[in-house]
Amino acid sequence: MKENKILKENNLEDLIKKFSKSDIVSSIRENYSKENIKYISNYLISDNKYLEKAKVFDSNLKNIKSSIEENGVYKPFYVNYKDNKYEVIIGRKRLRASKELKEENVPCIVFSVNEHEELLMLLADIQDHKEVNMYELSLILNELYSKYNYKLKQLAILINQSIYQVSNILNLVKLPYEILLDLGNNLTSYGICKTLIYAKPNKVMEYYKIYKEKNLSVRDLELLIKNDNKKEKKLNILVDEDNLTINLKFENSEDLHRFLKKINK
């Protein structure tokens, strides 16, 4: 089988430089559009292992199905061939739609890339979309961060965001799965999820239910969590009975100044 080699074993900085370009997927498409397209039974192509937690919902398939019914599957899938198996890299929504419509053989451009390269291709594809699926983005960034030791600064360069934003996106996967599914299905916003990251883990679902029941804004939810955190703060007091002294420890300078202001009144 002829393999499409899109990368060489460059060092990490070279890969970051290459894949931080917003038009990288278009560039790949142009380079290999003249290659022979292979028709493969879509039942032999599995979902992407890195993104399978981010379910493809029926609500996202309506327009895709209509297009396939009218024009057929004309746009090739990008698939990775490894260990005698095909795994979709680009086109997972169209793959799900084509399977449900019982389309048999679908056009594919077949690559044979390692896991690192596959992750970078997935990331580039996600970045190419106007509306980024933040749950998918979080899954990919977490793989690069934990498995390939990317630093926050390197990830920030890859997705053209601040280190602060990268940290927030990485932490999304710590939220309950129910919330992440809603995020992936556009039933809640990244702003709401980002706010919930800073809530106490055992109260996240409680806050999320309040947000939905009362239709809170991001700002309202921020204030609710912030006020509750203030109420639950406990002053750390160390008592030294021998020397008749006490030592007060504050979580941050704001708490310290707030305390000093109160006792000086």
Report DSSP letters for 187-219, one per residue: SS-HHHHHHHTTS-GGGHHHHHHHHHHHT--HH
CA dist 255 and 235 (Å) reads 10
Residues 207, 175: Cα–Cα separation, whole Å: 12
Q: List the chain pLDDT tens, one digit each, 265 residues.
A: 444 444 444 455 565 666 665 555 555 555 555 556 899 999 999 999 999 999 988 888 989 999 999 999 988 999 999 888 999 999 999 999 999 999 989 999 998 888 998 999 899 888 877 778 999 999 999 999 999 989 999 999 888 899 999 999 999 999 999 999 999 988 999 999 999 999 999 999 999 999 999 999 999 999 999 888 776 555 566 666 666 777 777 666 666 666 666 666 5
Dist. CA 150–CA 211, nearest whole Å: 34
d(CA 92, CA 98): 10
Answer for the pair 166, 155: CB distance below 8 angstroms, yes or no.
Answer: yes
pLDDT of the residue at 227: 87
Specify the pLDDT at position 245: 76
pLDDT at 112: 87
**105-111 and 85-90 strand pairing:** unpaired
